[in-house]
Homo-oligomer: A and B are copies of this chain.
Amino acid sequence: MPDTIEDRLSAEGITLPDAPAPAANYVPYVQTGNLVVISGQLPMADGAVKYTGLLGGGVSNEDGIAAAQLCAINLIAQLKAACGGDLSRVTRVVRLGGFVASTPDYGQHPAIVNGASDLMAAIFGEAGAHARAAVGVAALPFNAPVEVEGMFEIRP
Contact = CB atoms under 8 A, between A and B. Distances in A.
A28 interface: yes
Q: How many copies does the complex hold?
A: 3
Contact of A92 (B30, B111, B142): B30
A7 to B, nearest CB: 21
Nearest to A122: B25
Nearest to A95: B37
A131 B38 contact: yes
A136 B138 contact: yes
A131 B39 contact: yes
B139 A99 contact: no
Interface in A34-48: 34-35, 37-40
17 contacts: A23-B110, A23-B134, A24-B117, A24-B134, A25-B114, A26-B117, A37-B151, A40-B132, A56-B139, A99-B135, A106-B139, A107-B140, A109-B139, A131-B149, A134-B141, A135-B140, A138-B138
